Amino acid sequence: MRILHTSDLHIGKKLYSSDRIEEQKAFLQELSKVCEEEQIDIVLIAGDLFDTFNPSTASMKLLYDSLCDISKGGKRPVVAIAGNHDSADRIDMPDSFSQRNGIFFVGNYGSHQEPIRLNADISLEKSAPNYMQFRFSKYDYPLQLIVTPFVNEQRLREKFSIENEERELRDWLQDIWHETISFQERENGIKVLMSHLFVLENENDERTEPEDENAINIGGASAIYSENIPEEIQYTALGHLHRCQKVGKREIWYSGSPLAYSFSEDEQTKYFLIVDIEPNEKPIVRKRKIESGMPIKNLLAYNVEEALRVLKANQNNWVQLRFVNNKALSYEETTLLHSAHSHLLQIIPEIQSTNERNEQRSRILEVQDNPLELFKEFYKHTRAGQEPDDILIELFQEVINYKNETN
């Protein structure tokens, strides 16, 4: 069976005041095209379908029309859950209509989908709260899918009468997932979990949430650990983190967002995750690069001429310019820079003495023959002085070592 995993669409999200709806439309069209080319059986969208609790009419129409195109009237099921940016009730709202088109929305935790035959070849044959079992006639096994949308702490206590506020979310979810797995074990099938949560390998994992995200902290738990996910789960499809990444050694994946939504995502490559999977076997996970959408770039310049040069070289990007000089930009200079680049969203001025600037340039010259030190300096330049963490340094060193070995 072939699954496509994506998440964090954030339909309607803007970059500062700049509309991204055309880029989002292009991504959804590309998603439909990729589903055809890759012969995808089912699409999983792991939360944050919209960017706000009250999306615009245009945003809702774009998503619903696009999912109908992707599902081909029920020939390719789509399962989408609510994230922390979504209104759970709004995500659940279109369900009776959408099911007939093979689109299954799960907004509220505990939502129960009614079994339905989509056509002669595909059916949702069994369901329970937070569980869906799909049957495809071309396979002799079902897809057994556990769905865990984002749930806030207040709803958690109200809906499930959890009175012990000290009990952590990770313990509660672990119990629920194990209980659901025991129910699934009556029939051999593909076992997949989809959720919108902050998952770490363990308490020592230094992975961080996106800078423009509110931390998911429920019931005392800031994160779920991979050990909380039952071993029987073959693949975990996650949403919330915007960079495509694997959590630990098991097949626990964040697909990442399809578009870069903040300048902390500078030059990130975005991917679809294509998952080939059979019962009791380790899935094969393949990244497919997303071609649509405009990249985001942080640029640095020390004078107006240099700024104009780097802006000209990055016309097809959303740009944030850090301008370092010993005097502030004039109104005329600011206007000139903005007129030179239609997607220049922000100029960050940094007043620096000539001596400081010369020292900084000298430091760059000192480390230019040391790739790791040069990388550290570049990272600090583009991250307002922030040092790269140990994981990033280790990854960079691996790339350098590989390059040296192959040269």
Tell me which of 259, 289, 319 is where a domain ends: 289
Closest alpha carbon to 240 in 211, 203, 210: 210
Instruction: Let me know whether 182 and 45 are in one domain.
Output: yes
Is 296 in contact with 317 (CB distance < 8 Å)? yes
Closest alpha carbon to 184 in 147, 137, 237, 146: 146
Instruction: Let me know whether 327 and 197 are in one domain.
Output: no
Cα separation, 110 vs 148, whole angstroms: 8
Q: Per the structure, how many domains does the chain have?
A: 2
Instruction: Let me know whether 128 and 14 are in one domain.
Output: yes
Tell me which of 237, 259, 289 is where a domain ends: 289
Instruction: Let me know whether 343 and 254 are in one domain.
Output: no
pLDDT tens, the chain, 407 aa long:
999 999 999 999 999 889 999 999 999 999 999 999 999 999 999 999 999 999 999 999 999 999 999 999 899 999 999 999 998 888 888 666 788 889 999 998 888 888 999 999 999 999 988 899 999 999 999 999 999 998 766 666 665 555 554 456 778 888 889 888 887 766 789 999 999 988 888 877 766 555 555 455 444 445 788 999 999 999 999 999 999 999 999 999 999 999 999 988 887 899 999 999 999 999 999 999 999 999 999 999 999 999 999 999 999 999 999 999 888 889 999 999 999 999 999 999 988 765 655 665 565 555 556 777 777 777 776 665 667 777 777 787 777 776 666 65
Q: Where do we find the tokens 């995500």?
A: 91
Cα separation, 257 vs 88, whole angstroms: 20
Q: How many residues does the chain have?
A: 407
Instruction: Let me know whether 275 and 357 are in one domain.
Output: no
Instruction: Let me know whether 238 and 312 are in one domain.
Output: no
pTM higher than the cut 0.85: no
Instruction: Let me know whether 237 and 321 are in one domain.
Output: no
For residue 403, CA distances in Å to 396, 398, 406 come to 11, 9, 5
| CATH number of the domain residue 282 falls in | 3.60.21.10
Instruction: Let me know whether 253 and 334 are in one domain.
Output: no
**Amino acid of residue 74:** G
Instruction: Let me know whether 305 and 179 are in one domain.
Output: no
pLDDT, residue 93, reads: 81
- Residue 131 forms beta bridges with which residues? 128, 146
Cα separation, 368 vs 48, whole angstroms: 42
Instruction: Let me know whether 268 and 357 are in one domain.
Output: no
pLDDT, residue 110, reads: 81
Instruction: Let me know whether 12 and 87 are in one domain.
Output: yes
* Beta-carbon contacts of residue 277 (< 8 Å; ≥ 6 apart): 1, 2, 3, 190, 192, 234, 235, 283, 284
Tell me which of 289, 314, 330 is where a domain ends: 289
- Residue 235 forms beta bridges with which residues? 192
**Amino acid of residue 288:** R
Measure the CA dihedral 41/47/48/52, to 10°. Answer: 120
Cα separation, 240 vs 85, whole angstroms: 10
Q: Where do we find the tokens 């056509």?
A: 119
- Its domain, for residue 323, covers 296-406
Instruction: Let me know whether 271 and 391 are in one domain.
Output: no
